[in-house]
Structure 1
């Protein structure tokens, strides 16, 4: 894919069951102006999104992504997306992607300030080339996220479990990681537990058991992590969720950051402490993640 593609979606559709929602979204010029200056997604980040990996025209894990988009919308008091309508829009965008890797973004915002309806759109674009990262790995640092593990339940208005458009903190964390000579970061809660990366899930290996932080405390349930767990379980490994103390990072036999587009990036060092890399297993995991997955 060598160009961008965009669809604007009418988020207000009839309640009756329909087989075809293709008349509820419109192709727009991805390079042309399409949003009002009053759009709250650009003014305040008041909306939610998902990023879907596409391989050779096949959009990966569409249903889990749509389920997470709906979850984020409920947390933000946005209309729950019509899954069939969005699925058709995703299929239409994926058809434009062709061979190779691409990324489809789903965006649902509050819309124009004081406007009657939200704004919704889907974009598709070529993905960055992550082949070197998948093979060579990344160095990470730990950063204090600034809240304890109970903050999400105690203060739901923080929207810690939603994938919102307000990503300034995540991007600031990546810049801080770069200032410290690392490629990425792992967030820690203020009471000393492992959370997630700014744009990825964390998976640790201890012997034959793979573990990721439990999806509470504001941690997003990773779609790629879920798919990777299916593969590992089929291979006979034990997989699970846990409250992971920060001190456990140093004793992991291997570690990965996983996300929909970068896929499985092996961690080579945490806070300048080397981590062993299983190159054979990492190659197997990425081969699986590059295969068609629903």
Structure 2
């Protein structure tokens, strides 16, 4: 996925108010070097990020993504982003996106080692084609994440509630899933509760009730999951959050992995046990997620 557009942000205080932040952006060649070799995002994965879906030039769910970026920054003791500055940067990047589906990435790093300020940048590129998995679904395996459900409260230094650049564990989980003959993974707490997928939220259906793991225990509160819940609530379905035992997974009447770029992907099997796929509702969900949303 080659980058089509990139700009560097000169971060300002979160409290600073002004109508125009364009003077704090520098457009750079997306194919050229732009970061220092001392950059801590590349040396240590010391930073946070967000990926925003773009449909025909319209950036989706910008405010929830910026709020989550700010929350991640707080957890990681990074300067909290100025929401209006970053909103304007997203708008600039969205205007450079091609027709169809694209992705904007927001990155906030601790900066250069021993440097005085953070590093921040935005990129835009065409999105990968996920039409096949949206239609045909994915098989998942469950993987132990290695900590109990309440560890985020007891050990906040693990940064489990932040969307950090340190994604090595998430990528290792996907490779392990592939080794086991699956397409994706669902993390479980060491005490047997469902968490999330490496790059997506999980939604389960039991009758007319839809449930997702409560956004505690280091689970990211998914922006796309919130949009799906808005749609389902509008259809009259019951939606909620709960502690979900791993034993409930194979009992679900349907399940989806949902994320900003891949959107709603049905789960066809869990640890080799087949799940029913609701193709009609999946089509509805993706139709909604592909429509412009703020």
Q: TM-score range by the shorter chain?
A: over 0.9
Name the TM-score, length of structure 1 as normaliser.
0.98
Partner of 1:235: 235
Partner of 1:47: 47
Residue 14 of structure 1, CA deviation: 8.5
Residue 98 of structure 1, CA deviation: 2.7
Counterparts in 2 of 1:111-260, with a 5 A limit?
Answer: 111-260=111-260
Task: Answer whether contact 1:13 1:24 (CA < 8 A) is retained.
Answer: no
Residue 4 of structure 1, CA deviation: 1.4
Cα displacement string for residues 215-253 of structure 1 (whole angstroms, at most 9, x for unaligned residues): 000000000000000000000000000000000001100
Partner of 1:110: 110
Partner of 2:57: 57
Cα displacement string for residues 113-162 of structure 1 (whole angstroms, at most 9, x for unaligned residues): 00000000000011000001000000000000000001100000000000
Task: Answer whether contact 1:163 1:220 (CA < 8 A) is retained.
Answer: yes
CA RMSD in angstroms comes to 1.1
C-alpha separation in 2, matches of 1:210 and 1:143: 23
Check if 1:95 corresponds to 2:95: yes
Flag structure 1 segments of 5+ consecutive residues without an equivalent: none
Residue 87 of structure 1, CA deviation: 0.4
Task: Answer whether contact 1:52 1:105 (CA < 8 A) is retained.
Answer: yes
Check if 1:4 corresponds to 2:26: no
Task: Answer whether contact 2:62 2:87 (CA < 8 A) is retained.
Answer: yes
**Structure 1 segments of 4+ aligned residues over 6 angstroms from their partners:** none
SS at match of 2:6: strand
C-alpha separation in 1, matches of 2:14 and 2:22: 13
C-alpha separation in 1, matches of 2:16 and 2:180: 54
Task: Answer whether contact 2:13 2:81 (CA < 8 A) is retained.
Answer: no
SS at match of 1:71: helix
Cα displacement string for residues 80-130 of structure 1 (whole angstroms, at most 9, x for unaligned residues): 000000000000000011311000000000000000000000000110000
Residue 207 of structure 1, CA deviation: 0.1
Task: Answer whether contact 1:12 1:117 (CA < 8 A) is retained.
Answer: no
Task: Answer whether contact 2:98 2:126 (CA < 8 A) is retained.
Answer: no
SS at match of 2:132: helix
C-alpha separation in 2, matches of 1:228 and 1:143: 25
Name the TM-score, length of structure 2 as normaliser.
0.98
